Structure 1
Amino acid sequence: MAKITKSHPSMNVHHAYAVQREIIRMRTAAGAKVIGRKIGLTSKAAQQMLKVGEPDFGVLMSDMLVPTTSSVPRASLIAPKAEGEIAFVLKKDLHGPRVNAAEVLAATEGVMACFEIVDSRIENWDIALQDTVADNASSGLIVMGDRMVDPREIDLAMAGMVLEKNGEVVLTGAGAAALGSPVNAVAWLASALFEFGEGLSAGEIILSGSLAAMVPVNAGDQLRMSIGGIGACSVRFH
């Protein structure tokens, strides 16, 4: 479809989040369950591209979850791109107007390497902030890694990522790409949700933001990413 902001130029980000909430309500009514949240636009480059000064967020649903080493049908997606990220699995609720990094770590059971397969209904990824927010922050699928580790045992900001496509290294990154540290990104999300009267719940998965650029994928592609001290994750497309 064409970008929403073209047909509805007066649409603001609050309208866009209202659209997102309605989409999640419809998906929940159809049987999917909310399993967490994702944070987008955590890098300065992405924020400058969409002319915004802060990240955005979307909702993770049970029908988006894919185990590592799975094979995903390319035809089930529209225009997918892969991002390497660090996922947080919560053991305690996070709720409040000024959540800090220490509170995030205390509430976290463990962190995992993961792929977020982002996707967009907007033609050619020609999006403004309102377009991606309304489209559930361009969420597609989540591919979780092979193990979970205690985030207090590693420096998440310095954790290095290597992403391979079809056996060749195509991107490298580090945790610092996500608002200086993935912990900062989760703290930002919990605080941002408080403004909507919401919070993060124990058991939820939180994707903390991309550690490098997006990688387009097509049928036949195989991706693998590893994050130092955390683990690895892989997915194929057929």
Structure 2
Amino acid sequence: MDATAVREAADLLLRAYAAGKPVAPLIETYPDATVEDAYRIQLDQVRVWTDDGDEVKGHKVGLASAAMQRQMGVDQPDYGHLTGSMFHLEHQPIPSGNFLQPRIEPEIAFVLGRKLSGPGVTVADAVRAVDFVVPALEIVDSRIEDWRISIVDTIADNASSGGVVLGSRPTALSTVDLRLAGCTLHANGDLVATGAGGAVLGSPLNALVWLANTVGPLGIDLEPGHVVLPGSMTRAISLRPGDTVVSTVAGLGSVTAVFGSKEEA
């Protein structure tokens, strides 16, 4: 795709939220688009958001588990940017009008204490860089009609990023085995999914390493204080106004997201 086509595709996605209406899959409009083109489209939107005063506060790895890859019909992870406006407080109503087709998934969030600069980052480097971990709920959303996404579509759509709720109990990485940390996901009091950290590329730490080594050659560092979401431990579930979702992770505690009405701020 040339620069004009990249700009057009980014504008389509930017207008989707403004209009409150998803768009047709980009891969249908731009059938020759590549993964590299999709990341250019993503970065074009990030530049618009930061120019408008938002700030990059971290990154997410998407489609890191086999369950999520099967659910979305793709075969590789991707990454997106987390901006300050995407973060919401526990137990406080999240306005549903900010989203188009929201789903929610449980994750283990890394909060970095040191910079990670790839390529060449190892698991040992990643362990040293992590300040603490917290349970998290990620709201994924798609600006593509009916979630009919290819890998190009989800990458261009900022890896289907929507919102983040972080738990408030920090835990040192040395006190928990993330691979074996079991997870339960409850919606409105009902158990809807279970999983474990090992579902995320064998360990959420592997996803952190993958991210650092993938974005490093692009000139992107993972900065101290940034949040990294490594991927979901279960399938994603749909969200409706009024839903309350709780993720509990063994050794880390729980995190609660309240999905409010369209009017609630």
TM range (shorter): over 0.9
Counterpart of 1:121 in 2: which secondary structure?
coil
For 1:15-164, list aligned pairs within 5 A.
15-48=37-70, 49-52=72-75, 54-164=76-186
Instruction: Provide the residue aligned with 2:220 in structure 1.
Output: 198
List per-residue Cα deviations over 1:113-141 (Å, max 9, x = no partner): 00000000001000000001001000000
Candidates 147, 158, 173, aligned match of 2:195: 173
In the alignment, the residues of structure 1 paired with residue 67 and residue 132 of structure 2 have an alpha-carbon distance, to the nearest angstrom, of 28
Counterpart of 1:209 in 2: which secondary structure?
coil
In the alignment, the residues of structure 2 paired with residue 122 and residue 57 of structure 1 have an alpha-carbon distance, to the nearest angstrom, of 17
Considering fraction of residues, name the structure with more helix: 2
List per-residue Cα deviations over 1:19-77 (Å, max 9, x = no partner): 0001000000011000000000101243355343x310000000000111121122221
In the alignment, the residues of structure 1 paired with residue 145 and residue 101 of structure 2 have an alpha-carbon distance, to the nearest angstrom, of 9
Counterpart of 1:195 in 2: which secondary structure?
helix
Counterpart of 1:164 in 2: which secondary structure?
strand
Percent of pairs with identical residues = 40
List per-residue Cα deviations over 1:77-135 (Å, max 9, x = no partner): 10000010000000000012121111111000000000000000001000000001001
Counterpart of 2:207 in 1: which secondary structure?
helix
Pairing 1:226–2:234 present? no
Runs of 4+ in 1 over 3 A off after TM superposition: 45-51
Question: Aligned pair in 2 of structure 1 residues 179, 7: CA closer, same or farther (>3 Å)?
Answer: same
Aligned-pair RMSD on alpha carbons?
A: 1.0
In the alignment, the residues of structure 2 paired with residue 196 and residue 57 of structure 1 have an alpha-carbon distance, to the nearest angstrom, of 13
TM-score when normalising by structure 2: 0.87
Gaps of 5+ in 1: none
- The count of corresponding residues between Structure 1 and Structure 2 is 237
Considering fraction of residues, name the structure with more strand: 1
Structure 1 residue 194, shift from structure 2 partner: 1.6
Instruction: Provide the residue aligned with 1:14 in structure 2.
Output: 36
In the alignment, the residues of structure 2 paired with residue 16 and residue 41 of structure 1 have an alpha-carbon distance, to the nearest angstrom, of 16
TM-score when normalising by structure 1: 0.97
